[in-house]
Amino acid sequence: MKKGLIHLYCGEGKGKTTAAAGLSIRAAGCGMKVVFLQFLKAMESGEIEILRNIDNMTVIRNEEDYGFFNRMTEEEKEAITELHNNNLKQALALVDKGQCDLLVLDEACAAYNHNLLDRALVENLIQNKKEALELVLTGRDPAPLFVEYADYVSEIRKIKHPYDKNIIARKGIEY
């Protein structure tokens, strides 16, 4: 591949991470080196277990779950920001070494919007992306910069969701 593009999967609907995981599997299956970086998620989920076992795939994520942003203490916000920055730097080092053809930043929108990562690092990555790097960003409420630089913007809209009927997330389906 000569020119990598930027994908943005955003919106209130279910399936943003699922779309990014599917693209990652496709890319790895075609021999591309994939780095799948998750922000704000530490709970084990089915797709992470599969992604970790795919050749050419590196999964980077926090091991400790801090829960929802609006329930975090200031100390927890500081701790998760440090973890996110370290994880992002690890992923960018793989890009710099030529060990990444496709970089997924899952939940980048929320981490960026809540200042839970170094925004300048993300902005630099987007604005000065290496020519061949394929970049995927996911999450709700993307920053205008994300939309501006994206080549693909796929908004996933919620029309109905089981949560609205008090049906909790189900293992194997929602996680």
Which CATH number belongs to the domain containing residue 110 in this structure?
A: 3.40.50.300
Provide the β-strand partners of residue 21. none
Counting the structural domains of the chain, the total is: 1
Q: What is the pLDDT of residue 145?
A: 98
Angle at 22 between CA 16 and CA 24, to 5 degrees: 105
The domain in which residue 71 lies consists of 6-165
Q: What pLDDT score was predicted for residue 1?
A: 59
Question: Taking a C-beta distance cutoff of 8 angstroms, is the pair 133, 33 a contact?
Answer: no
- Residue 175 in domain: no
Query: pTM of the entire structure?
Result: 0.93
Contacts 24+ apart (CB under 8 A), 64-68: 65/41, 66/40, 66/42
Q: Specify if 174 maps to a domain.
A: no
- For residue range 112-156, list pLDDT tens digits in order: 999 999 999 999 999 999 999 999 999 999 999 999 999 999 999
Q: What is the pLDDT of residue 24?
A: 99
Q: How many CA atoms does the CB half-sphere of 37 hold within 13 Å? A: 28
Residue 1 forms part of a structural domain: no
